[in-house]
Structure 1
Amino acid sequence: MTTVRHEATVPVAAAGRRFDQSLAEMFPDYSRSRLTGWIKEGKVLLDSARVAPRHLVRGGEQVVLEAELEAEVDAQPEDIALDIRFEDDDLMVIDKPVGLVVHPGAGNPAGTLLNALLHHSPALAELPRGGIVHRLDKDTAGLMVVAKSMAAHTALVAMLARHDVHRQYEAVVLGTMVAGGTVDQPIGRHQHDRLKQGVRDVEDGGKEAVTHYRVRERFRAHSVVQCNLETGRTHQIRVHMAHLGHPLVGDQLYGNGLRLPRGASQALIDALRGFRRQALHAEKLAFEHPVTGESLEFDSPRPADQEALIEALRADTVLHPIED
């Protein structure tokens, strides 16, 4: 465990506020829930005295915080290879492969990205969710940013909430899309299937979700689409594309089955039937370093299976040109 000690003076501007609220503003590197716990345990003193989290400060008091950073996660470290695109003391950028689950859960108690991260950097156990501030589905490949310090974690969570992290994806969808656009539809838990998300009104539990998309390539019965996220809801691109009537190729949860163009070659039939995951790749990640202010931008090469799928669709278009 790591012991932390801080001394500070309550700002005069905080007069009349609760102690826990003031402390959260004074020490933004720590969550309010963690600070509240430390107050209750007597690990934060106000003018050398223990006070309740709801105590109202007057401004000018002396605060001494001395506590141990206990583990926030209980997953076990595992020696799993990581494709690290960038790393410093505050964060790392990972290129996640297809098939790697991000967090342990039902059916996946081990062998996850979190287990790999804890092996690579054991101190991540002291951060919420092991430093993972956003996630990708198991069968989605591509770029993720992981916090390594509490300062970076707090800042990255806020940046994601403000839409200050640029996240770009490539998807292969069913149907020939004519033009790009924006899907501005709230997303929430599906009413009848707990494994799914769906478009739902805000009044019915939906949360704001915005996806911008543009068509890169059109084929006879499929399209390659670039998607840029403003928000980061669970399964957002998969739900929004399905809402448009263009679910992702291989998406077993939101798709509507295999679609073979008339006269498709055996190579295309094999490529489509053999693609067993949603055709989605987190190809670009760009943001301002939350500590240094450096502009960072990363690109991930298209996974081999998605490249082969697109090549098969291109070959089919050569044999059967699209009539505009």
Structure 2
Amino acid sequence: MSDLTEILDDEQSLSFNPTDDDDDEMLHEHHRILVDGGQEPIRLDKFLVIRLHRVTRNRLQNAIKGEFVKVNEKAVKPNHLLRPHDVVTVCLPEPVRDMKNVEPEAIPLSIFYEDDDILLINKPANLVAHPASENWSGTLANGVVHYLQQQGLPFFGLSHRLDKDTTGLLVVPKNENARDKLGKQFFHHTIERTYYALVWGEVKEDKGTIRGHLARWKNDRRIMIVEEDGSRGKHAVTHYQVLKRLRYVTLVKCNLETGRTHQIRAHMKHLGHPLFGDAPYGGTRIIKGSVFSKYLAFVQNCFDILPRQALHAKSLGFKHPKDERWVQFESELPEDFTTVLERWEKYVKYV
């Protein structure tokens, strides 16, 4: 069976809205669990948190409310008390895929660092990290599987992901111990992750923290929005610091306290400063500056050079899974990012 977290965390997955009109015949069974005969009464959501590793209780509760989880073939509430011999099923629109059997493909990888336990890759833009809906091949994971097979090693999955057009460092475990140790650090948010982002406008404060639950926009599930009242979505915290002010745009450093889908992109948009070039979040519109033809041509030229969101996963810090010593890795900004940054620096200097 597949790991439920692969489906629930996928960018193309459902938001588990209870009002979604899903046909049961289109669902695929991912888990069927027979409750032990000696089991004391226990809440369904609590039971699944224990049985399905790495899936949060909030996400499971949404799945139960969306009737993707049933007990004895009946829809129930998250607080439903399970009894001995109950049958719990988890059915999702995605077909069952064994993520441990990702097909190997000879995809070029930019290896940043490697030892017997971990592999760090400097991911380029325009590369999906992991197989998912409509992208079952041609991903970074497919390339990693091929690379590890050359060493006679199995694939233990990716410890985390980056958006398709986000560049930067991504760590991959090379054995079971590394997978578990890294997984715990990501789960407990003790991994130090630093991103550089070029955003529209003049960020008012030199540093700050953005807090706000992130949920999928009801009109387009590919886009995340901030729910300030916390009525839905997942708790998310981003710390930012201004590195360079360029009048029309600002270079900021972002540190993730949590790691949610599109977290920096959605949080900076919420702050009023969408990432430069980030089309889904309004970053391909001129947010700051004149409408004179010279300026419009300059901005369009920057978009042509950097046809994606200006976001780079610059550094990773964590306890090494072998001996728990702290290790820190830092990468350079990619050429498209640095070129656009240099152009903005020259533009504000001479205009």
- In 1, are the aligned partners of 2:111 and 2:119 still within 8 Å (CA)? yes
Cα deviation for residue 202 of structure 1 reads 7.0
CA shift digits 1:141-189 (9 cap, x unpaired): 0001111212211111111122211100000101111222000111122
Q: SS at the partner of 1:189?
A: strand
Pairing 1:130-141 to 2, within 5 Å after superposition? 131-141=157-167
Please list the CA deviations of residues 230-273 of structure 1 after superposition, one character each: whole Å capped at 9, or x if unmatched: 10000000000000000001111111542163365554541145
What are the ranges of 5 or more consecutive residues in structure 1 without an aligned counterpart? 1-16, 19-30, 35-53, 55-70
Aligned residues: 255
User: How much is the aligned-residue C-alpha RMSD, in angstroms?
Assistant: 2.5
2:225 counterpart SS class: strand
**SS of corresponding position for 1:119:** helix
**Matched AA of 1:261:** G
Match of 2:328 in 1: 297
Residues 36-57 of structure 1 show CA distances to partners (whole Å, capped at 9, x for unaligned) of xxxxxxxxxxxxxxxxxx9xxx
Q: Is the 8 A contact 1:159 1:165 kept in 2?
A: yes
In 2: Cα distance, 1:246 partner to 1:236 partner: 13
**Hey, what's the Cα distance between the residues in 2 that align with 1:297 and 1:150?**
21
Change (3 A) 1:126 1:117: closer
Per the alignment, residue 51 of structure 1 pairs with none
Distance 1:217 1:188 in 2: 30
Residues 72, 125 of structure 1: 8 Å contact kept: no
- Matched position secondary structure for 2:267: helix
Distance 1:223 1:32, change over 3 A: same
Equivalent position to 1:252, from 279, 302, 307: 279
Quick check: 256-265 or 227-236, which moved more?
Answer: 256-265
The aligned residue for residue 100 of structure 2 is 73
Match of 2:199 in 1: 173
- Go from structure 1 to structure 2 and tell me whether the alpha carbon gap of 1:268 and 1:250 turns closer, same or farther (over 3 Å shift): closer
1:284 maps to what in 2?
A: 315
Q: Relative to structure 1, is the Cα distance of residues 256 and 270 closer, same or farther in structure 2, using a 3 angstrom cutoff?
A: closer
Is 2:266 the counterpart of 1:235?
no
**Runs of 5+ unmatched residues, structure 2:** 1-37, 40-49, 54-83, 85-97
**Equivalent in 253, 261, 269 of residue 289 of structure 2:** 261
TM-score (norm 2): 0.67
Matched-pair identity in %: 40
193-202 vs 299-308, greater mean Cα deviation: 193-202
1:99 counterpart letter in structure 2: N
Using the alignment, how far apart are the partners of 1:105 and 1:293 within structure 2?
Answer: 32
* Equivalent position of 1:150 in the other structure: 176
Is the CA contact 1:258–1:272 (under 8 Å) kept in the aligned structure 2?
A: no
Is 293-302 or 133-142 further displaced after alignment? Answer: 293-302
Which deviates more, 239-248 or 251-260?
A: 251-260
CA distance in 2: counterparts of 1:199 and 1:227, whole angstroms: 17
CA shift for structure 1 position 106: 3.2
Distance in 2 between the 1:186 and 1:33 partners? 23
Q: Is 2:275–2:283's contact at 8 Å kept on the other side of the alignment? A: no
- Once residues 146 and 229 of structure 2 are traced to their aligned partners in structure 1, the CA distance between those partners, rounded to angstroms, is 40
Contact 1:72 1:126 (C-alpha < 8 Å) held by counterparts: no
1:182 has 2:209 as partner? yes
Match of 1:271 among 288, 291, 302: 302
Quote the residue 1:214 is aligned against.
241
Aligned residue in 2 for 1:164: 190
Q: What pairs up with 1:28-177 in 2 under 5 angstroms?
A: 72-122=99-149, 127=156, 131-177=157-203
Change beyond 3 A, Cα 1:300–1:270 = same
Which of 313, 333, 338 aligns to 1:307? It is 338
Match of 1:37 in 2: none
SS in 1 for 2:242: strand
Whole-Å Cα distance in 2 between the matches of residues 32 and 112 of structure 1?
29
Residue deviations 1:178-212 (CA, integer Å, cap 9, x gap): 22200011112222211111112575322111100
The amino acid across from 1:246 in the alignment is H
SS at match of 2:181: helix
**Aligned partner of residue 195 in structure 1, secondary structure:** strand
Look up the SS of the partner of 2:131 in the other structure: coil
- 1:85-128 Cα deviation digits (max 9, x unpaired): 2222322111111111101233323111010011011376553x
CA distance in 2, matches of 1:241, 1:124: 40
Amino acid of the residue matched to residue 104 of structure 1?
P
